[in-house]
Amino acid sequence: MTKIGDSPVSFEIDDEQGYLVIRFAGEIDLYGSPHAREVILNCLKQKRNTVVDLSGVKYIDSSGVASLVEGYQLAKNDNLEFGLVNVSEAAMNVLQLANLDKVFPIHASLSERLQAS
Amino acid sequence: MDKLHGHELLEQERDAQLDRHLALLARMTQEFTTSLDIEETLNNAIEQMMVYMNAEAASIFLLENDDTELVCRACAGPIKLIGLHLPADQGIVGSTVKQNHVQMVRDVSSDPDFTTQVDEKTGFTTRSILCAPLTVKDKKLGAIEVINKKTADGLFASDDQHILTALASSAALAIHNAAMASALLEQERIQHELELAREIQGNLLPDSRGPDFPVHGYNLPMREVSGDFFDHFSLPDGRIVFNLADVSGKGMNAALLMAKTSSLFHCLGKTQTAPGKLLAMVNNEVHENSTRGMFVTMVGGIYDPVSDEITLANAGHQPPLLQHSNGRFEEIQGAAPPLGIVPDIEFTETTLKLGDGTLYIYTDGVTEAQQNGQMLGEEGLMTMISAHRDKPVAARLNAMFASLQREGRQLHDDVTVLVIEKPAPAPALCLEMPAKARELKSLRESSRDTVLAAGSSSAQAESIVLAISEAASNIIKHAYGHEDGRIEVDISVEWPQLVIVLRDYADIVDVDKIRPRALEDVRPGGLGVHFMQQLMDSLSYTVREDGRGNRLEMRITIQ
């Protein structure tokens, strides 16, 4: 896991089955979300299909959700795939509160996402 | 050849008759099994039987009034006999029922059992009677009777006996089923009334006054209507009158006595504040009007939060337990009979200091809870109380009730507990933090602890923490624009609500500009206010009390 300064969120990126998989852990709040945003946008700028694994996310707020929305929109513009996998209960509650659980493609895992498509 | 042909014809006719017979039986059985209106069904059936048996009249008599009478419940023919009462041992019907055997009187004029009473009343001439008993297993229900065959001689033949016997057994079963069904309906009606009584009783118990009130009552009824009750109410001078009682017996009688006794206590307790005298007054009233053999055990008392004294009187109830702050238990003894048995007696009062101790008043349903054939007992109760001693009172009682109901433990009686202890200082948070995003994590941690201590479930606590964090984020981002500043956060309990106030020293924000974004609009930002509105019961933005910044108040009912 890579940590950025004293950011409450850490991450790692793996190249799996043609996707970049970003695994976030910790709390994506107003302090952590700019870091999360940067990580997501960097992956998409490489013109790579990207999925975000949220299993280690204990807390996410509206600014964290906004970073995911930005990634989703950038990917759409560039005709890239973007989705969420392994969403923790805490993160799912917040996505539902934002009514975004129906907007993002959400799967239990990357392989399930591949099977579904 | 002719003879053989004749025999075949006879067989064909018999077959046809058998078919008709079976068809009638099938039709009647069908009607009997599908209808619950037994009188209508029986009247239809008796009409069909009369026609089928080619009789002039037919009727069904049922045993009623503890089998002393036979009453006509269905009939067909020229004379209406419905409602006719006969002594159970009278007439051909009576002797059929008594002997439980089909009877045929080809010619009534020569039968000793025939009573002319009915004919005299009706003007009908009875010539021949066929009567079959209605029985289910060994239970006699009555008899079915057909009168006067419509043939030249007007007399029944032995074939008719078999047919009527078959019809009677199917009718008997239908009557039996209908009686069972109506008994079931009656049972349901009683059940419904008991549920209603339970609801009314539940309403007689006072609502919880929350953790800031020193008296807490809990009741778990084991039957629909409970014989246990408790009450607590404040007097204008701040003293609190309370009681806990157990009515002897169970069911509706106990419930009515409970309603009466609790009303008496509640009403008289507003003016008579000496518990001994109050119990004496209630005792006399209950004694005067109560059913013989019923009584009420009660502990009644008054708590003065200023002097910290509890005065109580005990009418035949098990002694309350006072747990002192050092953990030691003391039984508060009292020696007077239960209410409603002996009039004009005195109830001695005991006064004690509550201090940091806790007084437990309970019904025997608690100590008589069984586990593995062993009663919990007073010792068991004290162990249970001590095990949960560190919990706030609501959580402690929930834990105790849960362990009373745990698998393997059998509750036979209502379980009721009244607890008196000084309210713990309400959990509250009052902090000031730099308006920096890196401070949010510790704000969330402190808020979570406070909210959980106030009694929120962990799911609700997460929602509240999110709303607080979003509110602080908005101040950092929008009010201060990420510039230096300070945020004050207050969390307090106004039972049953949690009140959260955030204040800043930023420029006054135009409240009309604080709007959640439309959700259809998928874009980053603007979600925070939407979250807060979704998560909290209410949200209000105002200018700080001192006019130097903004104030946000959020409220939510603790769950």
Q: Tens digit of pLDDT for each residue in A10-34?
A: 999 999 999 999 999 999 999 999 9
- Residue B390, both tokens: 């560190």
What is the average per-residue pLDDT within B230-259?
A: 88
- Whether B515 has a pLDDT exceeding 70, the answer reads no
Q: How far apart are CA B211 and CA B426, in angstroms?
A: 8
Subunit contact A73:B519, Cβ cutoff 8 A: no
Residue B35 has pLDDT above 60, yes or no: yes
Positive or negative, the CA dihedral B461, B462, B463, B467 is: positive
Select the residue of B444, B527, B534 nearest A66 (Cβ to Cβ): B527
Q: Which of A11-15, B67-71, B523-527 has the lowest mean pLDDT?
A: B523-527
Hey, which bits of A1-117 come out as E strands? 2-3, 9-16, 19-28, 50-60, 82-85, 106-107
Query: Considering chain B, what percentage of its residues have pLDDT values greater than 70?
Result: 91
Q: For residue B351, what pLDDT band results from cuts at 50, 70 and 90?
A: very high
Q: What is the mean pLDDT of residues B519-523?
A: 51
Which percentage of chain B shows pLDDT scores above 90?
42
Residue of B501 and B228 predicted with greater confidence: B501
- The dihedrals phi and psi of A81, each to the nearest 5 degrees, come to -85, 140
pLDDT at position B525 over 60: no
Among candidates A50, A65, A64, A60, which has minimal Cα distance to A110? A50
Under a CB-based contact definition with an 8 Å cutoff, are residues A30 and A59 in contact? Answer: no
Would you list the domain boundaries of chain A? 6-102
Which residues of chain A make contact with B525, given a CB cutoff of 8 A? 62, 66
Residues of chain A in Cβ contact (below 8 Å) with chain B: 6, 8, 27, 29-31, 59, 61-63, 65-67, 69-70, 72-73, 90, 93-94, 97-100, 103
**Closest B-chain CA to A8:** B441
Lowest-confidence segment of B124-138, B431-445, B471-485, B529-543 by average pLDDT: B124-138
Q: How confident is the model over B181-234, as pLDDT tens digits?
A: 777 787 788 778 777 777 777 788 898 888 889 999 988 877 666 678 999 999
Structural Rg of chain B based on CA atoms: 40
The CATH code of domain A6-102 reads: 3.30.750.24
Which of A7, A27, A29, A68 to mutate to test binding with chain B, by most B CBs within 10 Å of its CB? Answer: A29
Round the average pLDDT of chain B to a whole number and report it: 85
Cα dihedral B389, B390, B396, B401 sign: negative
Angle at B314 between CA B308 and CA B316, to 5 degrees: 160
Phi, psi at residue B488, to the nearest 5°?
-110, 135
Among B436, B438, B463, B535, the residue to mutate for chain A (most A Cβ within 10 A) = B438
The one-letter amino acid at B129: I
Which pLDDT score is estimated for B181? Answer: 75
Question: How many residue pairs bridge chain A and chain B with CB atoms within 8 Å of each other?
Answer: 65
Contact B528 A73 (CB under 8 A): no
| Arithmetic mean of pLDDT, B67-78 | 89
Residue located via tokens 């409450």? A8
Q: What is the distance in angstroms between the Cα of A63 and the nearest Cα belonging to chain B? A: 7
The residues with which B555 forms a beta bridge, in sequence order, are B499, B538
Residues of chain B contacting residue A99, judged by C-beta atoms under 8 Å apart: 519
User: Model ipTM?
Assistant: 0.95
pLDDT > 90? residue B552 = yes
B154 alpha carbon, distance to own chain's centre: 61
Query: Across the interface, which of B473, B522, B525 has its CB nearest the CB of A61?
Result: B473
The one-letter amino acid code at B241 reads V
Q: B74 vs A89, B81, B84, B527, CA distance in Å?
A: 69, 8, 10, 76
Cα–Cα nearest to B198, from B232, B161, B223, B170: B223
Q: Closest Cα of chain A to B173: distance in Å?
A: 60
Measure Cα distances from B111 to B103, B106, B107 in Å: 11, 9, 7
Instruction: Test B527 with A72 for CB contact under 8 angstroms.
Output: no
- In contact, B268 and B282? CB cutoff 8 Å: yes
pLDDT value at position B232? 96
> A5 or B69: which carries more pLDDT confidence?
B69
Token look-up 């062993």 returns B374
Q: Categorize the per-residue pLDDT at B498 as very low, low, confident or very high, splitting at 50, 70 and 90.
A: very high
Query: Residue B409: pLDDT above 70?
Result: no
Residue range B351-370: average pLDDT?
91
Residue B1: which pLDDT band, with cuts at 50, 70 and 90?
Answer: very low
Which ranges of chain A have pLDDT less than 50? none
Position with higher pLDDT, B158 vs B504: B504
Does B524 lie at the interface with A, CB-CB under 8 angstroms? yes
Across the range B469-474, mean pLDDT stands at 96
Chain A residues touching residue B462 (CB < 8 angstroms): 90, 93
Per-residue pLDDT, A37? 95
- Residue B33's pLDDT is 64
- Cα Rg of chain A (Å, integer): 13
Per-residue model confidence as pLDDT tens digits over B93-118: 899 999 998 888 877 777 777 766 66
